[in-house]
Each structure stands twice: as C-alpha cells, then as structure tokens.
Amino acid sequence: MSVLTITKENFESEVLKSKKPVLLDFWATWCGPCRMVSPVVDEIAGEMHDIKVGKINVDEQHELAAKFKVMSIPTLVVMKEGKVVQSSVGAKPKASILDMLNA
C-alpha cells in the first residue's frame, strides 16, 4: 500500500475510522533524522498490506501536531481503532518500528 498524506481534512476518515492499524510519521522537510526514517516507513508501507501508513508534515499540519503533542520529530505513532497504542520519538531502525506495530 502506498503512503498516505494525512491532513486535518482526511484525518478522521483515514486514521480514526480505519479498520486497519495506522502508522503515522510526523516529519518536516528540514529534519535530518526524518529523512533517515522516511525510506524505512515507505518500505514498511510497501511490504505490509494489513496496515495503513500516513505521513503528517508538521509545518503544514500544526493542528494535528498539537493534537498529538509532537514536540520533537520524527515522531512515530501507531493507532488502532482510533486510539494511540504506541509512540516513539527519534530515528528508529526498521526492526524497532515493526516491533511498535506488533505490540
């Protein structure tokens, strides 16, 4: 599945009402660690068809970043049934991100 661009306009339909778990990547273009994590998140999106993967640009989506209290990026959040079940700040290897999804 391809990576979705999540905005405040599609957040409810794509994330809160998703029947699949959702991995959210809060990022910004100027963030070095975000650029390290991004290809890993893209890879996971291509490999795992039982989840949704969305990216939220914190510079464009201030409200969503505030809602999740994102203070540092990259921040990865796993949501199931509209609730946060895991979150992590900073660049993580693929195995750690997969562990978040399987928890």
* Architecture of the domain delimited by 4-102: 3-Layer(aba) Sandwich (3.40)
3-state SS record for the chain: CCCEECCCCCHHHHHHCCCCCEEEEEECCCCHHHHHHHHHHHHHHHHCCCCEEEEEECCCCHHHHHHCCCCCCCEEEEEECCEEEEEEECCCCHHHHHHHHHC
Per residue in 34-65, pLDDT tens?
A: 999 999 999 999 999 999 999 999 999 999 99
Q: Which of 24, 34, 65, 77 is catalytic?
A: 34
Active site residue 34: yes
The domain segmentation of the chain, as residue ranges, is 4-102
Whole-prediction pTM: 0.95
Which of 6, 15, 31, 77 is an active site residue?
Answer: 31
